Structure 1
Amino acid sequence: MEVEIDALSLAGSPRLAGESKEHIEILAAAPNPLPPIIVHRPTMRVIDGFHRLRAARLRGDTTIAALFFDGDESAAFVLAVQLNVTHGLPLALADRQRAAERIIASHPHWSDRRVASVTGIAPGTVGEIRRRLGPGSADPDERRLGQDGRMRPLDGTAGRLRAGELLSENPGLSLRQVARAAGISPETARDVRNRLRNGEDLLPRSRRRDHDVEPGDEPATEDGSGSPPVPAPCGEPAALRLARPVARARADAAPDRVVLVKRLTADPALRFSETGRSLLRLLAIHAVREEEWDAIIGNVPPHCSGIVADLAVHLSDMWADFATRVKRDITASVG
């Protein structure tokens, strides 16, 4: 609905440095109507659309189109961060880290991955922030809310051991069956299965009890440490990425694809070019979780399975060639 601009409050922005004057001027000159802002109804505080509101004032408007949000103030802040990370003028890293601090304080039961998915920073960074804000130890019986909406124990030791027993007794069980019976995520069940096959200890060497390691957060690396490197942001110089001595994570223990694609979506270098948007669309297609892949595989009609499998192999070869060429281009640019 149309609301009076003078009735709105601009307090509580997640942007530490305030709004961008240049961006406001660009929006004010836009010939087409801008999307409605989002307003917290109980306080009339703007949740999303600070720049659009400033642009409307610059044009001399007295009203602006708005949608209302009726949740509490902590939920309103989470929504503000989430929206500013995924569209519009992206939040700076310092803004996102500060937002993570506030969300950890207001939602202590959220997992590192869940906070990371809202703020657009790596789960490991969220864990570091959590350790800095709180005590260095936690109750091993404590449970945290993951991205899938399920509460899981902070310490997944018992679940891992139970999964190992189940897979030893019946190797034919699916990852979803093991995960459901052991109270862990399918990604953790996959890691346990891989460790059994390789004759490794079911528990990663680094059991980080002082912050939340959501099941599936600790995929094993080639050296078995269970602490894979955090991928560099899209905007990091290629030379730094190539120079960093890190162990390459196994393909079956890759970082959370959904979170990574969200981070890439917020990168202006990709969002504001046609080829960049095409790449993001392709990546988004594959950014589905283990449960979704299992559901898709389980519903492939038998008479189509051969064609589907051949296409999957062909497409995987295309992606492998794509990865090789991208790495080669990076190496050439550094050289």
Structure 2
Amino acid sequence: MPQEPSPAIEVPIRSLLPSDSPRLAGESAENVRLLAELDFPVPPLLVHRPTGRVIDGMHRLRAAELRGDETIRVQYCNGDDDDAFIQSVVSNARHGLPLTMADRKAAAARILQARPHWSDRKIAAVVALSDKTVAGVRRAQCTRVVAARVGRDGRRRPAGPPEPRDRIARMISEYPGASLRQIAKRAGVSPETVRSVRARLTAQQTSVPPVVQPFTWRAQRDPLECLRALTRDPALRATDPGRALLRALHTLAVIGPGPADLIEVVPGHDLDLFRSVAQANADAWRILADLAGRRVAA
């Protein structure tokens, strides 16, 4: 994980080497040009002392070269090559020109190969992805298997299958008077896992959708055609709740870019907040769809 860098010093630009960057497309020429035009000091570069490679600040380095500068302020940090790459990802994911989704997934895959014993959440915190996305990258690309993983808190835990949180949540609902240890013993998990699920339920950060009977639509219809038909229905347009529902449906339908493009506008430090809101909305729409399906089936 990131180490405390040394105090900033001035060094010759020619002494520095390009970074092992997490940016698949390299530096942005436009960003370099804009930085070169700044007339106030920029933060020092972060440099890997053993190799002289720039860990964070390649755009600032290119801008200094473009201006014809001979020296630049840097801070040094130590560690092996993998440490340097991880530090580069941490720095680039949190400021300056944002890393793309492809950059972050590629970085996650590389860190998984170098640190397979790190938990999904620990790696997610480095690359600014969700732990579920990191888990997907692990399944698809990581060939190394470990018996235990180290979490963000530094504790080592068995690398077993995901905890059955939905089942735990149902037990909490069915046995509201049961203790953490009683539910943990019944579910075959640790009391701390039960505590986590209970806290999330209390804070309404997660929920278990109601069990509904499966249904089958008679035909798959074009969602946009369905939306147009709903919009023309006076029964919906004549009431405030109906109009509110139509506005919500239209917002989702005309949102424009695909999900992969939309997520790029969310800063890395806001991804967990965005995911919580998006998941809550997804759960609500799923419940509405299930309830509509039950009415159709009836």
- TM-score tier after normalising by the smaller chain length: 0.5 to 0.7
> For residue 42 of structure 1, what is the amino acid of its counterpart?
P
CA contact (8 A) 1:156 1:184 kept: no
- Does the C-alpha gap of structure 1 residues 11 and 38 become closer, same or farther in structure 2, counting only changes over 3 Å? closer
C-alpha RMSD of the superposition: 4.5
- Does the C-alpha gap of structure 1 residues 121 and 61 become closer, same or farther in structure 2, counting only changes over 3 Å? same
CA contact (8 A) 1:38 1:66 kept: yes
Cα distance in 2 for residues equivalent to 1:58 and 1:68: 23
- Does the C-alpha gap of structure 1 residues 114 and 188 become closer, same or farther in structure 2, counting only changes over 3 Å? farther
The higher relative CO (CA closer than 8 Å, separation ≥ 6) is in 2
Alignment partner of 1:148 out of 148, 153, 161:
153
- Does the C-alpha gap of structure 1 residues 30 and 242 become closer, same or farther in structure 2, counting only changes over 3 Å? closer
Cα distance in 1 for residues equivalent to 2:195 and 2:50: 44
Q: How does 1:279-294 map to 2 (within 5 A)?
A: none
Cα distance in 1 for residues equivalent to 2:195 and 2:113: 30
Alignment partner of 2:106 out of 98, 102, 108:
98
- Does the C-alpha gap of structure 1 residues 106 and 157 become closer, same or farther in structure 2, counting only changes over 3 Å? closer
Cα distance in 2 for residues equivalent to 1:186 and 1:264: 31
> Do structure 1's residue 22 and structure 2's residue 30 form an aligned pair?
yes
- Give me the TM-score of the superposition, normalised by structure 1: 0.52
Tell me the alpha carbon deviations over residues 13-55 of structure 1, each in whole angstroms, 9 at most, x when there is no partner.
Answer: 1111110111111111111100000000000000000000001
- Does the C-alpha gap of structure 1 residues 46 and 135 become closer, same or farther in structure 2, counting only changes over 3 Å? closer
Between 1:57-66 and 1:144-153, the stretch displaced more is: 144-153
Tell me the alpha carbon deviations over residues 243-265 of structure 1, each in whole angstroms, 9 at most, x when there is no partner.
Answer: 9xxxxxxxxxxxxxxxxxxx944
Where does residue 252 of structure 2 map in the other structure?
A: 239
SS in 2 for 1:98: helix
CA contact (8 A) 1:159 1:184 kept: no
Q: Which runs of 5+ in 2 are unaligned?
A: 1-8, 212-250, 257-264, 285-298
Where does residue 63 of structure 2 map in the other structure?
A: 55
> For residue 149 of structure 2, what is the amino acid of its counterpart?
R
Cα distance in 1 for residues equivalent to 2:24 and 2:200: 44
Deviation at 1:152, TM superposition (A): 1.5
SS in 2 for 1:94: helix
- Does the C-alpha gap of structure 1 residues 79 and 4 become closer, same or farther in structure 2, counting only changes over 3 Å? same
> Do structure 1's residue 32 and structure 2's residue 32 form an aligned pair?
no
Where does residue 88 of structure 1 map in the other structure?
A: 96
Cα distance in 1 for residues equivalent to 2:160 and 2:198: 15
Q: How does 1:265-280 map to 2 (within 5 A)?
A: 265-266=267-268
Q: How does 1:324-335 map to 2 (within 5 A)?
A: none
Q: Which runs of 5+ in 1 are unaligned?
A: 198-218, 225-237, 244-262, 268-279, 288-318, 328-335
Deviation at 1:221, TM superposition (A): 3.5
Between 1:142-151 and 1:62-71, the stretch displaced more is: 142-151
Tell me the alpha carbon deviations over residues 219-276 of structure 1, each in whole angstroms, 9 at most, x when there is no partner.
Answer: 663258xxxxxxxxxxxxx636989xxxxxxxxxxxxxxxxxxx94448xxxxxxxxx
Between 1:145-154 and 1:52-61, the stretch displaced more is: 145-154
- Does the C-alpha gap of structure 1 residues 104 and 20 become closer, same or farther in structure 2, counting only changes over 3 Å? same
CA contact (8 A) 1:19 1:50 kept: yes
Cα distance in 2 for residues equivalent to 1:109 and 1:71: 18
Deviation at 1:183, TM superposition (A): 8.1
Deviation at 1:63, TM superposition (A): 0.7
CA contact (8 A) 2:163 2:189 kept: no
Give the % identical residues. 39
Tell me the alpha carbon deviations over residues 46-100 of structure 1, each in whole angstroms, 9 at most, x when there is no partner.
Answer: 0000000001111111111000011111111111001101101011111111111
- Does the C-alpha gap of structure 1 residues 17 and 194 become closer, same or farther in structure 2, counting only changes over 3 Å? closer
> Do structure 1's residue 125 and structure 2's residue 133 form an aligned pair?
yes
Deviation at 1:155, TM superposition (A): 2.2
Q: How does 1:65-214 map to 2 (within 5 A)?
A: 65-135=73-143, 142-155=147-160, 171=178, 184=190, 186=192, 188-191=194-197
Where does residue 13 of structure 2 map in the other structure?
A: 5
Cα distance in 2 for residues equivalent to 1:10 and 1:25: 18
Tell me the alpha carbon deviations over residues 133-182 of structure 1, each in whole angstroms, 9 at most, x when there is no partner.
Answer: 2459x67xx211112221122227899999x8xxx8x84669xxx8xxx9
